[in-house]
Amino acid sequence: MLIAGGGLVGLCAAAFLAQRGIRSIAIERLRASSPLPRAAFFHMRTLELFRSLGIEDEVREQSARDYIPEGGIVALESLAGRKLADIMPSLNEGVADLSPCRRLYLNQPSLEPILRRCALSAGATLNEGAEVTAVDQDADGVTVTATNIDSGGRRELRGQYLIAADGGHSRVRQLLGIEYGGRGAFSNSLTIYFTADVSPWIADHAWSVIYVNNPRLSGFFRLNRSAQAGFLGVNTVGDPKLDAVAAANAAADTSEARLIDLVRIGVGVPDLNVRIDGFTRWRATASVAQRFQDKRVFIVGDAAHLMPPNGGFGGNTGIHDAHNLAWKLALVIGGHASEELLSTYSSEREPVAQLTVEQAFARYVARTAPWLPADPPPQPMINDLNIELGYLYNSSQGLHADPHTTRGMPGSRAPHLWLTRSGERLSTLDLIKNYTLLSGRDGGKWLGVAAAVANEFGGLPLNAHCIGRDVGDPEGLFGEYYGVGAKGASLVRPDGFVAWRSPQDSADCAGELGAALARSLIRH
């Protein structure tokens, strides 16, 4: 398997593939992670995927070193100014019953080494200092030309498929002639990395993200635990009502004096002692690739969708892309599924990307640029949880739902419920490694046919558990959470989404389970 890009999403793709026994080569331009402290907001769904890789604890420990846990999101006039709004009082308020994991912030340069070790230790290969400069597909595979950034030397690599995780300027996407559609760019933004003691204005406030909005700039701060350093993202400067074009060009002047001035404006202290550690220019953009697949090439992450940082949806959505694709590739390569299964990557992930990009844009407008003209107008904002855990695949209920109410509905993420086994507490999500059949306490008929049905699909990996018998259900809530009775069963895909359920048993359990698997695997 070939992967273009060895950053956040590319490394996750390599790790998810390795988790399923698929070796990969990731081709990455950079020889090391950026030293600049680019913080990212990682959602519960993403932490659940890290949990499945066995790195959740390490990620959480690193997060606690970088940032204050459980911080909130606020809007201020400036750090020294008045509060304008409490956007999210606490990072994990009201989420405890939905997941075994909790949201967190983590510097991306701190996370990537963890992902790199995870992928490499499981058999992935990382080819650094090179980029994909040519792609050639045929009926059996993909050949890419990897060009060394320094020497210009070229090397041909071949794999069955190629995952393009090479970012918003994706060379692979360009080589395939796939364009972005959507709203495009609406701000020439700037991130300023700085060192300055702003602790007097943070005091004991547990704030993870601080939006600042005043007549001179709009943007957001993220600060380290001690409030001695961090970065300021600047989206607009000046009054957009007077000159919207100039205001949106925040990165027009990147002289050191101007960067110091902007930090001081954001803090609200004109004589603050500031050291500039670096800066990056970026465009606030809301775009989605016109297609996510070209024969044997799949587009993931920023190569597939670009969105403003508001809500922290970008990186999380890319990681979920990679996970959705990895298990499907593994089953096709292993001969358990038809190649048609791979087409469901696009049909499932494109609608999620469209929804998420529009929701990120709506948050950008509401929190940073309410003056921004938009045609069509921004969508009404839906609850973060609906985007984070409640997106749906191929559901008659639409693109999203409140994850409190989905209750094991086919097309939704399987609900989290605390169970017990051998005296240890575990989540229902911890049981889901491959296709997984979960039955009620009297659902032995379903479990009795599981192995034989799996053999009909070439020895398909299929786990089966009777909840309330071989796995304890202390509060007796499995049936309520999964929408099945004591004799019912739920079939969950390897990515943790419900493929099918039967509220009770059946006169032909083997036939029903086999038909459900055939539909999910696109086996005719």
Query: pLDDT value at position 275?
Result: 98
Written as six digits, the tokens of 276 are: 């500039």
What's the CA gap between 429 and 203, in Å, rounded? 39
pLDDT digits (tens, 9 = 90+) for 352-402: 999 999 999 999 999 989 989 889 999 999 999 999 999 999 998 999 999
Count of residues in the chain = 524
Query: pLDDT value at position 163?
Result: 98
Q: How far is CA 104 from the centre of its chain?
A: 13
Query: pLDDT value at position 38?
Result: 65
Query: pLDDT value at position 39?
Result: 59
For the ranges 92-96, 286-290, 483-487, 513-517, the lowest mean pLDDT is seen at 92-96
Mean pLDDT of 197-209: 91
Query: pLDDT value at position 206?
Result: 87
Nearest to 228 by CA among 199, 266, 259: 199
User: Residue 78: which pLDDT band, with cuts at 50, 70 and 90?
Assistant: very high
> Would the pLDDT of 278 be above 70?
yes
Instruction: Record the pTM.
Output: 0.95
Query: pLDDT value at position 67?
Result: 83
What's the CA gap between 150 and 111, in Å, rounded? 26
Domains, in order of start, for the chain: 2-69+103-182+286-388 (3.50.50.60), 184-285 (3.30.9.10), 418-521 (3.40.30.120)
Query: pLDDT value at position 32?
Result: 75
> Would the pLDDT of 96 be above 90?
no
User: Residue 327: which pLDDT band, with cuts at 50, 70 and 90?
Assistant: very high
Query: pLDDT value at position 319?
Result: 97
Query: pLDDT value at position 26?
Result: 98
Please state, rounded to an integer, the average pLDDT across all residues of the chain: 95
**What is the secondary structure of 159-200 as a DSSP string?**
ES-EEE---TT-HHHHHTTPPEEEEEEEEEEEEEEEE---HH
Mean pLDDT of 163-181: 97
Q: List beta partners, residue 131.
A: 147
- Give the residue numbers marked as catalytic: 211
Mean pLDDT of 419-442: 97
For the chain, percent of residues with pLDDT exceeding 70:
99
What's the CA gap between 364 and 374, in Å, rounded? 12
Query: pLDDT value at position 35?
Result: 64
Rg value, the chain, Cα = 24
